[in-house]
Chains A and B, each alone.
Chain A
Amino acid sequence: MSDGSQTAAAAGTLLATSRRRRPSLARAARAGVPYALIAPVAAVIGAVLGYPVYWLVRLSTEQYGLFELIQHKGIPVGLRNFRSVLHDQVFWHTLLRTVVFTAVNVALTMVLGMAIALLLARVRTPVRVLLSSGLVLVWSMPVVVAVQVWYWMTNFENGVLNYALTKLHVGNYMQHDWYASTTSQLAMVTSLIVWGALPFVVITLYAGLAQVPGDLLEAAEVDGARSWMIFRDITLPILRPIILILTSLSIIWDFGVFTQPYLLIGQSRIGPANYLMSVYLFEEGYFKSDFGRGAAISILMLAIVAVLSVVYVRRMVRIGEATA
């Protein structure tokens, strides 16, 4: 009996402790579920992003040219690649050129994008449909095809741009070479990039404009506010989060742009005088088969983009916290 009561008592304490433990276990399990759920995603991101980044960093500390490529083995050189890039005059000129280029492109994209979005909100439905389908068509055009069309339009021998400008009596543009100087080359590239970037910006801003309460605008109008004031004091503050996101995305895209400048200016015209960052990276890394140095340049580019967009990302996070 005593044995039986002992076991019963033991069972009782066991039950009690397990009963006491169960809620905390359940809580722990429940707390673990989100982590378990994001684990696959984290693993995939780690694999597809972490692994290449690891190799990029490793490559940037190695001498890795054609010889090493064939041997499949680099020679560790520490920070020599970084030192060599940072001592390269061409790097600093290219960086300055790219920052100015990015600023001009982002500013043009945002200002024109806002103007067209405001226009979209004002026009009648048929015009709006026409305008937005035009924008979607621009969006659906592959970049390489767009470059080819741009190249034909600005062609030296028989481009339509020269023809139109001459016929419109703007001046004699027959056989005008739009790729004769760096400024002109980059201006052509800018026109192509801004043209291609507008649809996304316009459509996103237009969607944002729908969020601006109509009665607020009406009230302002009744109070005698001018349209510029309404835009500055009501529309703009409401759109601010969207504008911040679009601006930071545009900075990242335009700073690293490669296809448009490389193909439109053309390989045979590319030189240190018109390098943009990613073109410089391509020329140094691939054309000169110096892959270690190329890796160092791309890491520096990554750092620069991070610095350039940190202001925007921080503000975005703050807005997110405020609304949460």
Chain B
Amino acid sequence: MKRRIILALCLVAAVSAAVATTTSGATRKASAASITVWLQVDAQNSWPDLVAAANQQFQSAHPGVKVNVQYQNWGDHLQKFDAALAGGGGPDVIEMGNTEMTKYMAAGAFADLSSAKSTFDNSANWLKGLAASARYGGKTYGVPYYAGSRVITYRTDLFSKAGIKKLPTSTAQYVADAKRLFAHNKKKGFSPLYIAGTDWYFAMGFVFDYGGGIATQVSGKWKGLLASKQSIAGLTAYKNFWNAVSRASKTTDEAHPNPYDVYAQGLAASIEGPSWFTCCVGKKYASLTKQFVMPGHVAGQALPGFLGGSDLAVPVTSQNKALATDWIRDFTSTQIEKGLQAKGNIPNATNLLGNSVNERAASRSWFVPTAKHWVDVENGNILRNMLAQILTGKLSVKQAAQSASDNIASVLNQP
């Protein structure tokens, strides 16, 4: 009996020793031998060298501090972040899409960076759209990282073979060119301009081009705008344009498949998307690929493009807020921003802007309503479902727009 008791005591001692070591390990970790950074895969695919350069810069100022960069996907990084907020062990720096910021700022998920704002390079000239997405209640919770507009990437050989001498300057001209491209390319599934049916970033450009909008705030309450005359004109124009130029699935999104994969398979004369799409058009077509700005319905005017972008923020749960802020400073330095620009992105400040196709496309741009619950509209696929209903003919443009508009208003007006 005695022996058994001793055995049991030994067991308890061993277990508590193990627990003690793990907890002391956890506390040691908190006092920073490393920081964890969550960036999106875009950085991993297209500018890993810039991440490495920023890490080197950071480590020369903070010798011995490891930077643990973990790459995330847009599709599920918020669920992972929620879990990290609940359980701890999340990142010290997180990249957030500019449409995702408001909900998290409102919930108090990020550290206030207002007092450090002036220490970031070019912070006086930050792009308005991006800076606004990182501000809530008069405080700054994020640092603009980069922006991206959307352009047309096209095959010069197919365009010239079809006898297109001048690039289209209006949607009507694009439709006429599409007819020629169809005539010269009989392959099944070929698209003169491949557009995924539910690519709402592209479709909403038509809505804004015709003077419509998604939602607006009237005396503190959100009001849906998609059922307005102008918006319906825009959606109808989108439907007609889509039918004339694209043979994509009417219900798929712009990531299934990736438009550049369709292009690389020779099944598209042009695609629409971020300017870095040139990365992945395939060896065969790399030298035959150029870009231009998507025209709108008025000749000579660009189609308003979605100004996407990312901000970098420090979660309140971080144990290393000062180090995290220092890393962000290194990763948004003038030098790194110029590097991002060279990769085809729009840098985070107006004084760095150049004259690339991407930057010209940003001249006419639109942005989503800056509402706390906007991200619920995105995640709930309200716009995508509307587009699928319109293109498949399940509902008329008017019916689909009305139902989406009501839906959006009710989501945005939630407490």
Contacts and interface: CB of A to CB of B under 8 A. Distances in A.
A69 B384 CA distance: 29
B198 A268 contact: yes
A270 B379 CA distance: 9
B251 A269 contact: yes
Interface string A45-80: 000000000000000000001110111100000000
Nearest to B385: A271
Contact of A70 (B85, B385, B388): B85
A174 interface: yes
A179 B198 CA distance: 13
Interface stretch (A198-206, A225-233, A282-290): A282-290
B107 A65 contact: yes
Contacts of B249: 156-157, 175, 177, 179-180
Nearest to B200: A268
Contacts of A66: 82, 85, 103-104, 107, 109
B257 A70 contact: no
A157 B266 CA distance: 12
A158 B379 CA distance: 28
Given A157-B267, A286-B79, A270 B381 contact: yes
* Secondary structure of the B contact surface, majority rule: loop
A286 B80 CA distance: 10
A271 B381 contact: yes
Interface residues of A, number: 28
A284 to B, nearest CB: 10
A211 interface: no
Nearest to B249: A156
A267 interface: yes
Given A66-B103, A268-B198, A287-B380, A177 B251 contact: yes
Given A175-B189, A180-B251, A70 B256 contact: no
Contact of B253 (A157, A268, A283): A268
A266 B253 contact: yes
Contacts of B382: 271
Contacts of A36: none
A175 to B, nearest CB: 6
Contact of B379 (A65, A70, A157, A288): A288
B127 to A, nearest CB: 27
Nearest to A268: B253
Interface in B372-410: 376, 379-382, 384-385, 388, 392, 394
Contacts of B252: 156, 177, 179, 268-269
B82 A289 contact: yes
Nearest to A151: B256
B86 interface: yes
Nearest to B389: A273
Contacts of A269: 198, 251-253, 381, 384, 388
A288 B107 contact: no
B262 A157 contact: yes
A65 B373 CA distance: 12
Contacts of A267: 75, 381
A141 B63 CA distance: 47
Given A67-B107, A175-B189, A180 B392 contact: yes
A69 B86 contact: yes
B269 to A, nearest CB: 16
Which of B79, B104, B247, B385: most chain A Cβ within 10 A? B385
Which 9 pairs show the lowest CB-CB distances between chains A and B?
A: A268-B253, A66-B107, A156-B249, A67-B107, A287-B379, A271-B385, A177-B249, A271-B381, A69-B86
28 contacts: A66-B104, A66-B107, A67-B108, A69-B82, A69-B86, A70-B108, A70-B109, A71-B108, A157-B249, A157-B267, A158-B189, A177-B249, A177-B251, A179-B249, A180-B249, A180-B392, A266-B253, A267-B381, A268-B198, A268-B253, A268-B256, A269-B251, A269-B384, A271-B385, A283-B380, A287-B79, A287-B379, A289-B103
